Amino acid sequence: MPEETEIPGPQGRVCVVVHAWPRLSMTFVAQELVGLEREGLELWIATYGQPDKIRHPIHDQLKAPVHRLPVRRPGFFRVFQAWRKVRHNPGYAAARRLFWREFRQGRKGRQWRAFARGVILAAELPPDIRAIYVHFIGSSATVARYASMISGLPLSASAHARDIWTSSEADIRSKLDAMQWCATCTTIGAQRLRELADRPGTIHLIYHGLSFDRFPKDPPVRSNADGLDPSHPVQLLSVGRAVEKKGFDVLLEALAALPRDLNWRWLQVGDGKIMDELRRRADSLGLSDRVTWLGAKDATAVTELYRSSDLFVLPCREASDGDRDGLPNVLMEAQSQALACLSTNFSEIPELIRDGETGVLVPPAQVAPLASALERLISSPDQRKMLGAAGYGRVRSCFDAESGIRRIAELLREMMR
């Protein structure tokens, strides 16, 4: 167990449960937690997933200690010691009954690991913890709910995208019923959760937005590349995990459909489970000499790419398992640097991008409209500059993170009281 040198505040601390920490793909979570500390809240992070090796600078701004729960199968001794400590707690019997009910209904190995982690978390919570707050209402909320029941501490959550759309309705209903409140960052997500909640008023729509102090304020001068000069190709950029919902397979097909004499190159940032499949597809389409797979990068490197590229492309869509993005942070990040964005009219993206005004949107999972938009924007540096400037103005005026962070802080303080 890690040593803790921080002196707890008079109101106590909030236990924040996240699946893995730190994660490059969850910059918005790190942004929120740093903001909550600036609002005066003291945090204690509990995590059990495998952390990423690369860190964003914002991770180093967080003061909260990180408590590591078992990553894989929880060891018997740690589980036994925790069970001995909490087995007489008033809420333990109810948590055990819930476990056995879900154990019979679900994936037995996963349910056992979640219950074991919940028991360990409840036993190892510092005495000054006053509330439990969990990011995502999937597996991490299962752990947090067990810990909340056993410890008697109030529970709340922020739900985002995959957790809302791939969890069963029964699972979401059960978890929402156990929470004092749940925040989510998209209108469509809030609508779904309110339909499933017995108490719709406990669902709060709170955009996570961006903390703009993490990014250069002055946008760069964009190039006049128009795809005609082979020595000066238009630089296309995508930032996102190599997973189905990002639509990179559709993007490869659209790039292959462009005129062969149009000069461009595509840079992709991020790792993921379908990376090998994407590489093979690029090879088969004859695009390998125009595509650069950059892998995972920290925030500083990604920001430099926003500033040096000509067009940001993220053709989001619904995955075959129902997974989808809400409002991808990377679109806001790109617009914060006045980089023109091409995406899809899917999920909550139209809340950020107004088609033809602050960016371009095409139907999801369709090659021809995406290829047409790519050809038009690659050939028109003036339109890219216009869209980039308009996106810059809108994102900085309407999507500042601070108001949302203040609202989360208010809800947490109320819960602690």
Examine residue 5 and state whether it is found in any structural domain, yes or no: no
Rounding to the nearest 10 degrees, give the CA dihedral for residues 330, 332, 333, 339.
100
C-beta separation of 150 from 86 below 8 A? yes
In a shared domain, residues 393 and 406: no
Q: Residue 128 domain-assigned? A: yes
332's CB contacts (< 8 A; 6+ apart) are 209, 210, 352, 395, 399
∠ Cα 137 143 147 (to 5°): 120
User: CB count, 10 Å around CB of 174?
Assistant: 17
Burial grade of 290 (CB within 10 A; 0-12, 13-18, 19 or more): middle
- State the pairing for strand pair 203-205/181-184: parallel
> Quick one: pLDDT at residue 10?
45
* Residues 409, 394 within the same domain: no
The reply to whether 7 falls in a domain is: no
> Residue 407 to residues 53, 92, 184, 321: CA-CA distances in angstroms?
32, 32, 12, 32
Same domain assignment for residues 385 and 408: no
For residue 54, give Cα distances in angstroms to 61, 175, 297, 333.
15, 32, 7, 19
154 prior amide bond cis, ω within 30: no
Domain annotation covers residue 113? yes
With the CA atoms of 213, 186, 269 and 211 taken in that order, what torsion angle do they form, in degrees rounded to the nearest 10?
0
pLDDT value at residue 49: 87
Same domain, 220 and 368: yes
Lookup result for tokens 């740690």: 78
Provide the pLDDT for residue 6. 45
Residues 6+ apart with CB under 8 A from 386: none
Rg (CA), the chain: 23
Tokens of 352: 């950020």
Same domain for 26 and 161, yes or no, is yes
Considering the domain boundaries, does residue 198 fall inside one? yes
Mean pLDDT per block of 10 residues along the chain (417 residues) reads 42 94 89 96 95 88 96 90 97 96 82 95 98 96 98 97 90 96 92 96 92 92 97 98 97 98 98 96 97 95 98 96 90 97 95 96 98 98 98 94 94 95
Whole domain around residue 145: which residue ranges?
13-208+401-416
pLDDT recorded at residue 230: 96
CB-CB contact of 210 with 332 (8 Å): yes
- Domain assignment present for residue 8? The answer is no
Give the CATH number of the domain where residue 44 resides: 3.40.50.2000
235 and 198 assigned to the same domain: no
The two structure tokens encoding residue 3: 């040593």
Are 371 and 410 in the same domain? no
- CB atoms inside a 10 Å sphere around CB 395: 26
Question: CA angle, corner 250, sides to 337 and 268, nearest 5?
Answer: 40
In a domain, 268, yes or no: yes
Residues 342 and 222 in one domain: yes
202 and 325 fall within a common domain:
no
Say how many domains are in the chain.
2
Specify whether 183 is located in the same domain as 329.
no
Same-domain check for residues 223 and 202: no
pLDDT of residue 416: 94
If asked whether residues 358 and 410 sit together in one domain, one would say no
Claim: this prediction has a pTM higher than 0.85: no
Which residue type does 244 have?
Answer: E
3: in domain: no
